[in-house]
Structure 1
Amino acid sequence: MRRCPSCNALLLENTTYCGNCGLKQELIDEKICIKCNNSIPVDSKFCPHCGTAATIKAESKENIHIDTTESIEPTTRQQVNSEKISTSNQTPIITYELDPYILSAIDNFKFSFTKKYAEFNGRASRGEYCRYILIETLIFVLMLAISLFISYISKKPEYVLWGVFLHSIVFFLPTLAISTRRAHDLNNPGWTSLILFIPYINILYTFYLLLKKGDIAPNNYGFPTSFEIITPKISEEKDIKLSQTSDSPIKFTSTIVVLIGIIIAAFVSIDSNNSHTNASKNKVTPTTSTSTQNPKGNVTQVPQATQTSVTTEKDYIEQSTKALKSYYDKLNQKNFSGAYALLSEQHRANVGYYDKWKNGYNTTLNIKLASIKVLSSNPNQVIYEYQLHARDLINGKIKNQIFTGNVTMTKENATWVIKDQDGKLISSYFE
């Protein structure tokens, strides 16, 4: 293969006229290596520089006789025009200056993501496509790891979905475009890239694009890309890095494997903190009794009957929510002993003895649980985010206070109680 001296388009050895600019090509007595772009003697079967097989024969000046007489000029012009049109229809011109070069992974990604963001014409070689997919996968894993970390810290799993959605929006067009150009490199129509949207089949098609070698010569969709090695001279002239080294894919693959390991570790950590233990069906609950201590110190035993039930997520969330609302209902009814019984031993130690805790509500008129939201749940523990509206009578004036925070409900002896609660004041005003 060789290049047109006028427009630098890639041409076959036996091409007489350039399909891009129409310039008549001078016949040569040597071949050009398609890999390292160095000259090869006509009688050599292999490139003396890189060892690539020289399979395309060059034309020789001595074997061609050019007749320029006037008698065949009309016929010659007609043949030239016909060849020019046919070549132009089958092999579009090279639009981008960096198309012929084997770029490094980073330069290849920048070139595809910026210059060819929505370019569906032309071709993309196997190496060009693989390097793009490699960097895009690396970015996806990084974004997923960051999203998981934020979700773990904030206890809001929706950040993972937002991270995946953002990545899909940014990379949808360039990925579809390079997949279309990769299909062109295999001389397939661009619409075949729509297979990527078919579940399961898209996995096989992706491997096909990654592994299948493209056409080495111009085809119906243009000239091949990413075939010329970047020398130090070209690197300096074009301001690009040298061609991809053999150890670069190993480095990127190792990085991806490490990041995937971090993601798996994050999933395991989240799962261990919020373990969801599925209750077995038809579980038999033995007869138990709970102790309730009233303000006078008397202990009342409340027996519980043996029952068979299936515990679902909806059931235990409803039960814990009902217990939480019951706690504030009892406070509004001034049933402090009943409300205190809904506190766990751990929380009672935090709020103090019964009398001290009860005195904290001396000025309270009523408490309203404005909103609650489940943050995490399992059959033995449910964590809520809540907002509370309290009204207190202070010095003859009614003061409104709004609190927000988290409350943890836990199941003790088949009864839901408040294990822990925190809150902060976000607003207050007088009526």
Structure 2
Amino acid sequence: MRRCSNCDALLPDQSVFCGNCGLKQEPLNEKICSKCSKPMPIENNFCPHCGISTTINSEMAEDTSTKNPPTTESPSSPQINLKTTNSNNAIPLSTYDLDPYILSEIDNFKFSFTQKYAEFNGRASRGEYCRYILIETLLLVLVIAIGLLITYISKKPEYVFYGIVLFNVVCFLPTLAISTRRAHDLNNPGWTSIILFIPYINTLYSLYLLLKKGDTTPNSYGYPTSFEIITPQISEEKDIQLSPDSGSATKFILTIIVLIGIIVAAFVSMDSNKFPSNTTKSKPSKSATTVNTSKTVSLSESNPQSTSTPQPAVQPENNYIEQSTNALRSYYDRLNQKNFNGAYALLSEQQQASVGYYNTWRNGYNTTLNVTLTSTKVLSANPNQVIYEYQLHAKDSINGRVKHQFFTGNVTMERVNSTWYIKDQDGRLVSSYFE
């Protein structure tokens, strides 16, 4: 709003003639804030310096206070004028210098994560909220990617879980705070943010916060935020980046999609690299089940379908070979006895990570009737590790028929604190037939 230079009447900023006296008005390129008296672009509805609204309501309030200056009242008179003045300023102004500006994605996230880490008062515009969620999603995908890399190196899948939990703990408070301010921007009470903790409904509520346009005028929770474009002068003065262009969000979304693709490829690669390329796909959990062990042993049992290799005699000084062999036999004995917990305990942590979680590994034996270690041959041995070449005979119930399968491969036994475990194992299908 502006005033006529002749009669001081209140006029719209774009008026050409005064509606009161008819005087032609000079065009304006900027206007003066009625609160802080600083210049601003003529098209702004809010002052970028103090955040006050420059709509007709604020101008009318100023006009009323100018033409009706407060008078001195006696101590016994009621404070009517004071209450009226306070009601005009009942809506709080912005308390942060950067509230009026449309910040870049990085500056927006830093501003919300530092200065507004636990700020539940005020408002957050749709753009401010969307840019925060965009960067938060990108960081979460990076955490998952790093967790997968550590898992691939250490063979311990729990690092992905730990990373996600730690990320959620760190981001919980600022995310809840900006969600509350976003609800305020829609003139909704902040407690509605608890909907984010209700499964299924939280998805719809999140879309509501992301897509619903907020109030363009002051509401019960304050003035709008993120409405002023950052000029080069403001960028240099405030040490912030220019406002984001239309393609910046697209770049971040494409980055997230690429990272998700890398994560999916990593999952597929980790799953396919569990066994050698010549390993059978039909019996991965039986033929390729590995247990951490460090020694190797020779052992033979009769089997008409496989050729037994003569085993070297175990010398008294090679008791560790006998111990590792007994541990390997015990593993298959427990499988035949359906003692899956006991068998899984004979796998090293590395091998457990390789074959998958317990339930996944156990489901691989749902159709198994019997598994027999028919022969073993020591390839190398020392007191802490023994490597065998083995042959295996498995019987499975397939559609009411018994299927015989014969596997061969290498298994490494490793001793940890006087206990032998299967450290690594590979296998390939040699032959099979139905009864």
- Shorter-chain TM-score tier: 0.5 to 0.7
Amino acid at match of 1:364: N
Report what 2:425 is aligned to.
none
1:94 CA displacement: 2.3
Are 1:419 and 2:409 matched, yes or no? yes
TM-score when scaled to structure 2? 0.59
State the one-letter code of the partner of 1:420: N
2: distance between equivalents of 1:202 and 1:228? 31
1:354 aligns to what? Answer: 310
SS class of match (1:421): strand
Question: Does 1:363 find its partner at 2:317?
Answer: yes
User: Measured at CA, do residues 59 and 162 of structure 1 come closer, stay the same or move farther in structure 2, by a change above 3 Å?
Assistant: closer
Runs of at least 5 residues in structure 1 that lack an aligned partner in the other structure: 3-12, 14-23, 39-53, 280-310, 381-399
| Cross-structure match for 2:9 | none
Report the counterpart of residue 79 of structure 2 in structure 1: 78
How far apart are 1:69 and its partner, in Å?
8.6
What 5-or-longer segments of structure 2 have no aligned partner? 3-12, 14-33, 49-53, 328-344, 356-360, 366-381, 396-403, 419-435
Q: Report the alpha carbon displacement of residue 268 of structure 1 after superposing the two structures with TM.
A: 2.8
Whole-Å Cα distance in 2 between the matches of residues 185 and 151 of structure 1?
A: 42
Aligned to 1:143: 143
**Aligned to 2:323, what secondary structure does the other structure show?**
strand
| 1:28-66 deviations in Å (ceiling 9; x for gaps) | 9x994236969xxxxxxxxxxxxxxx9757848998772
- Verify: 1:108 aligned to 2:108, yes or no: yes
Q: Deviations over 1:96-130 (max 9, x none)?
A: 21111111100000111111111111111111100
Which residue of structure 1 aligns with residue 171 of structure 2?
Answer: 171
The offset of 1:82, in angstroms, is 1.0
Contact 1:113 1:174 in 2 (8 A): yes
Structure-1 residue corresponding to 2:230: 230
CA pair 200-63 structure 1, distance change in 2 beyond 3 A: closer
**1:34 is the counterpart of 2:34:** no
- Aligned partner of 1:259 in structure 2 is 259
RMSD of aligned alpha carbons: 5.0
TM-score normalised to structure 1 length: 0.60
Q: What is the SS of the residue equivalent to 2:347?
A: strand
Partner of 1:42: none
- Name the residue aligned to 1:186: 186
Partner in structure 1 of residue 23 of structure 2: none
The answer for the alignment partner of 1:372 in structure 2 is 347
* 2:125–2:185 CA contact under 8 A, matched in 1: yes
Contact kept, 8 Å, 2:45 with 2:55, in 1: the verdict is no
Q: After superposition, what is the alpha-carbon deviation per residue over 1:181-232, rounded to whole angstroms, capped at 9, x for unaligned?
A: 1111111111101111111111111111011111122221122111111111
**1:66 aligned onto 2:67:** yes
Does the aligned pair in 1 maintain the 2:108–2:131 contact within 8 Å? yes
- Asked if the contact 1:147/1:159 (under 8 Å) is kept, the reply is yes
1:161-189 Cα shifts (integer Å, max 9, x gaps): 12211211111111111101111111111
Distance 1:61 1:207, change over 3 A: closer
Closer, same or farther in 2 for the Cα pair 1:194/1:100, shift >3 Å? same
Identity of aligned residues (%): 50
Amino acid at match of 2:310: Y
CA distance in structure 2 between the partners assigned to 1:114 and 1:150 by the alignment = 29
> Within 2, Cα distance between the matches of 1:144 and 1:406?
37
Larger RCO (alpha carbons 8 Å, 6+ apart) = 2
3-state SS of 1:228 partner: coil
Give the Å deviation of 1:146: 2.0
Query: 1:72-113 CA deviation, whole Å, 9 max, x = no partner?
Result: 89999934421343355x423422211111111000001111
C-alpha separation between the residues in 2 aligned to 1:405 and 1:269?
A: 26
Task: Decide whether aligned partners of structure 1 residues 60 and 252 sit closer, same or farther in structure 2, where only a CA change above 3 A counts.
Answer: same
Match of 1:367, SS? helix
Which secondary structure does the structure 2 equivalent of 1:107 belong to?
helix
Which residue in the other structure is 2:99 paired with? Answer: 99
Q: Conserved in 1, the CA contact under 8 Å of 2:291 and 2:413? A: no
Equivalences for residues 111-122 of structure 1 within 5 A: 111-122=111-122
Q: Is the 8 A contact 1:145 1:263 kept in 2?
A: yes
